[in-house]
């Protein structure tokens, strides 16, 4: 009676004797005997045996690389994530680790990885989760990298531009996924006034940022962000800057000291010596024009920040006290040995212009013109020497002009003094012809004084004409401060009595009668940084 006989079982409840050929479904019910409790229990098949992780999805599945900086954040969903780890796998089968993995719950994981670690070449990426019991779940071909334009040009300063001077800069970016051109647009910030962006196809995509800033009144840094856009409308951005510089000019019309500002390592400099004075002759002929002061222009002259540099400005040759002898101008010098502000450019010396001499054709920074009654009819040579570091490329001086031969009344003409840019012209005529004085040699022009206006310096003095009443003409002064010579009628043509232009280093013109001549023009030193 204690035994259950087969006849006591309801055979209709349990039917079939064949073992299942497939795994039990998760919602199948199994009967098990609980040995501890001594009872039979119903159990879902999904709760029988070892429980593994499941991986349902990852989000996002498409990301944009941008400029390659920053991180990607992915969210994984599934089950049994407690104690699990996650990783990515590239298309060659190599694992790519997340920088951080956070198990938010049993059904969610957050993975963070640097954009630079997820190369576009490795797409599509698989994602794998490994449970605490080392059972894994994997989803293949889940993540694609949509590469944005890559900037080739480094972020930061593109350089400096000088106000009122045209400037141009370029920014380049490429699209690693396409041969299509990258274009650029101003995302934020501002460019220097009047600057624009022009897109070109060069090197996959180049922005030309160019213009002329004519309005900025003080040195200003303009910060801006450029957005690069590829053919698929993917974007990346990068910050740049351009500094508009307003140059500072210091003009020395007398000797002094240049204090090099902090941070300044180079400056444009102009050094002009004093011009020479012309001469008159004992005979009624034309005197030679005074030579212009020697000139040195040295762009980007090296200096030492916060140091000082001695400046010497040469005076023009004084008005002669005797009719036959002009006076030399004084040297102008930038620097003195041992000055703490000197750089590798060294000391710059512009030689004083030659004073005309009736007996000897004088040599100077620029040579003087020859007088008609001297032993030599040849103009004086230039002795402006080359300067250290520039092989003479920026030192300028020229010879004076020859005298015109005397006529029957000693009425020859004087040659023009040499200028920084040209030789003095020879006197013309004589021997019964109109004895015209030679023109002074032209100087050289620079915009260093204000950055825009072209100013001539170091022009030679014009030669005086011979004493043939109503016929002879004086030579003109060279452009750059040189004054004209005198004619037979000094009262109506008093050119030779005029002084060379101050702070231009011009030579004065030759006279036509005793003491009818002036002083040479004073020199100048200009520093621009």
Contact in structure between 165 and 158 (CB atoms under 8 Å): no
Residues of the chain with CATH 2.60.40.10: 54-146, 150-245
Q: What is the SS3 assignment for 325?
A: strand
Answer whether residue 46 shows pLDDT above 80.
no
Interval 204-252: pLDDT, tens: 999 999 999 999 989 999 999 999 999 888 899 999 999 998 989 999 9
Query: Which one has a higher pLDDT value, 305 or 415?
Result: 305
Mean pLDDT of 298-311: 95
pLDDT of 528: 94
Q: What is the DSSP letter of 396?
A: E
Answer whether residue 349 shows pLDDT above 80.
yes
Distance in angstroms (rounded) separating the CA atoms of residues 296 and 222: 35
Answer whether residue 388 shows pLDDT above 50.
yes
Phi, psi of 7 (to 5 degrees): -70, -15
Contact in structure between 241 and 221 (CB atoms under 8 Å): yes
Distance in angstroms (rounded) separating the CA atoms of residues 439 and 193: 46
Q: Give the percent of the chain with pLDDT over 70.
A: 83
Domain 54-146 has CATH 3.40.50.970: no
Contact in structure between 496 and 511 (CB atoms under 8 Å): yes
pLDDT of 433: 55
Query: Regarding the domain delimited by 150-245, which CATH topology (the fold level of the hierarchy) does it fall under?
Result: Immunoglobulin-like (2.60.40)
pLDDT classification of 374: cutoffs 50, 70, 90: very low
Answer whether residue 375 shows pLDDT above 50.
no
Interval 242-278: pLDDT, tens: 999 898 999 999 999 999 999 899 999 999 999 999 8
Answer whether residue 389 shows pLDDT above 60.
no
pLDDT of 69: 83
Interval 126-174: pLDDT, tens: 999 999 989 999 999 999 988 889 899 999 999 999 888 899 999 999 9
Interval 59-108: pLDDT, tens: 999 888 877 789 999 999 999 999 999 999 999 999 999 999 999 999 99
Locate 450 and state its tokens. Answer: 């204000």
E strands, 337-428, where?
Answer: 348-350, 395-396
Answer whether residue 117 shows pLDDT above 80.
yes
Q: What is the SS3 assignment for 144?
A: strand
Answer whether residue 26 shows pLDDT above 90.
no
pLDDT of 432: 47
């Amino acid at each position: 009676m204690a035994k259950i006989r087969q006849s006591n079982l309801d055979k209709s409840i349990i039917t079939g004797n064949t073992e299942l050929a497939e795994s039990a479904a998760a919602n199948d019910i199994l009967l098990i005997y609980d040995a501890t409790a001594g009872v039979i229990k119903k159990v879902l098949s999904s709760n029988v045996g070892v429980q593994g992780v499941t991986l349902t999805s990852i989000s996002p599945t498409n990301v944009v690389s941008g400029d390659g900086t920053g991180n990607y954040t992915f969210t994984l969903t599934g089950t049994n994530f407690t104690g699990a780890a996650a990783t990515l796998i590239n298309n060659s089968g190599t694992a790519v680790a997340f920088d951080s993995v956070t198990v938010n719950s049993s059904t969610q994981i957050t993975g963070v990885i640097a954009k630079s670690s997820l190369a576009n070449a490795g797409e599509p990426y698989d994602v794998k989760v490994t449970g605490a019991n080392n059972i894994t779940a994997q989803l293949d071909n889940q993540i694609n990298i949509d590469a944005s334009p890559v900037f080739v040009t480094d972020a930061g300063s593109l350089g400096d531009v000088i106000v009122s001077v045209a400037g141009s800069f370029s920014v380049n970016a490429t699209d690693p996924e396409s041969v299509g051109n990258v274009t650029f647009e101003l995302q934020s910030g501002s460019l220097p006034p009047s600057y624009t962006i022009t897109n070109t196809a060069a090197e996959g995509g180049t922005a030309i940022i160019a213009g002329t800033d004519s309005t900025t009144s003080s040195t200003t840094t303009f910060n801006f962000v450029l957005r690069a856009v590829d053919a698929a409308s993917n974007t990346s951005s990068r910050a740049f800057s351009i500094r508009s510089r307003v140059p500072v000019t210091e003009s020395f019309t007398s000797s002094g000291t240049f204090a090099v500002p902090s941070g300044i390592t180079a400056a444009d400099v102009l050094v002009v010596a004093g011009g020479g004075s012309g001469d008159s002759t004992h005979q009624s002929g034309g005197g030679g024009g005074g030579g212009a002061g020697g000139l040195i222009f040295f762009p980007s002259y090296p200096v030492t920040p916060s140091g000082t540099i001695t400046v010497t400005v040469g005076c023009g040759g004084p008005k002669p006290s005797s009719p036959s002898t002009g006076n030399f101008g004084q040297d102008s010098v930038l620097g003195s040995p041992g000055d703490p502000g000197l750089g590798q450019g060294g000391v710059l010396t512009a030689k004083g212009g030659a004073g005309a001499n009736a007996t000897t054709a004088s040599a100077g920074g620029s040579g003087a013109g020859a007088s008609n009654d001297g032993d030599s009819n040849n103009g004086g040579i230039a002795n402006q020497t080359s300067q250290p570091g520039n092989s003479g490329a920026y030192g300028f001086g020229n010879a004076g002009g020859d005298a015109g031969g005397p006529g029957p009344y000693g009425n020859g003409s004087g040659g023009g003094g040499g200028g920084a840019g040209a030789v003095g012209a020879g006197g013309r005529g004589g021997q019964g012809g109109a004895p015209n004085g030679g023109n002074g040699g032209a100087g050289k022009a620079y915009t260093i004084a204000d950055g825009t206006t072209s100013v001539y310096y170091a022009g030679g003095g014009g030669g005086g004409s011979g004493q043939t009443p109503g016929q002879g003409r004086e030579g003109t002064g060279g452009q750059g401060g040189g004054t004209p010579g005198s004619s037979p009628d000094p009262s109506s043509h008093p050119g030779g009595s005029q002084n060379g232009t101050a702070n231009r280093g011009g030579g004065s013109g030759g006279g036509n009668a005793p003491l009818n001549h002036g002083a040479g023009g004073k020199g100048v030193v200009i520093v621009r940084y």
